């Protein structure tokens, strides 16, 4: 299963539980692993690995999802499937929520499947990042282990700081430093 997990939330956890009804073991690929500290991708691959690993342990699912593998993007879509294969143990099927990824995997001969996310309006990375920025409740949308990780890395403060970075770009010569 490949996704960006920015952050890992209860919708992803439900997807994992459903996929585990269809497969023996699940490899979790963390997409866009090279990206962090942006509004859409605030968390590093390492932080996302910790979130997922701790949430899976909390749910007793760690044994069946024993590989969590960071997958950086490559600037050539035609090479992406082989790039993914080169980083992961053998897999028989792939799950994604990304239409481009689905197409590329299928064109690469992989049995690629879409697994609908649970209660999509609420359990969405975009909605959770929005709530973090607005100071609204986001904690109830992610597993308790993820709340702990986000708090330990001061993730909400990071996200709020990222929104300020534009202002720094537009400072005029002679303006006070931020």
Residue ranges that bind ligand NAP, judged by CB under 6 A: 1-4, 11, 15, 31-32, 73-74, 77, 80, 95-98, 100-101, 104, 115, 117, 124-126
Residue 107 or 175: the one with the smaller Cβ distance to ligand NAP is 107
Q: How far is the CB of 66 from ligand NAP (least distance, A)?
A: 18
**Directed axis angle between helix 77-87 and helix 99-107, to 10°?**
80
Q: Which of 4, 15, 6, 46 is nearest to 120 (CA)?
A: 15
Q: How far is the CB of 82 from ligand NAP (least distance, A)?
A: 11
Q: How far is the CB of 153 from ligand NAP (least distance, A)?
A: 19
Q: How far is the CB of 168 from ligand NAP (least distance, A)?
A: 27
The rounded distance, in Å, linking the Cα atoms of 159 and 6 is 11
- How many helices (H) and strands (E) the chain has is answered by 7, 5
Residue 66 or 74: the one with the smaller Cβ distance to ligand NAP is 74
Q: Which DSSP symbol is given to 136?
A: -
The rounded distance, in Å, linking the Cα atoms of 149 and 170 is 33
Residue 72 or 144: the one with the smaller Cβ distance to ligand NAP is 72
């Amino acid at each position: 299963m490949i996704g960006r997990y920015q952050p890992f939330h209860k919708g992803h956890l439900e997807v994992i539980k459903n996929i585990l009804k269809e497969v023996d073991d699940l490899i979790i690929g963390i997409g866009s692993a090279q990206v962090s500290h942006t509004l859409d991708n605030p968390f590093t691959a390492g932080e996302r690995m910790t979130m997922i690993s701790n949430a899976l342990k909390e749910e007793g699912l760690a044994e069946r999802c024993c590989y969590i593998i960071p997958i950086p993007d490559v600037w050539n879509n035609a090479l992406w499937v082989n790039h993914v294969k080169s980083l992961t143990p053998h897999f028989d099927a792939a799950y994604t929520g990304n239409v481009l990824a689905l197409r590329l995997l299928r064109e690469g001969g992989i049995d690629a499947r879409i697994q609908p996310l649970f209660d999509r309006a609420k359990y969405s990375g975009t909605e959770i990042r929005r709530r973090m920025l607005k100071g609204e409740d986001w904690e109830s949308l992610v597993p308790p282990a993820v709340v702990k990780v986000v708090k330990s890395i001061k993730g909400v403060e990071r996200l709020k700081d990222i929104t300020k970075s534009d202002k720094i770009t537009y400072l005029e010569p002679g303006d006070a430093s931020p």
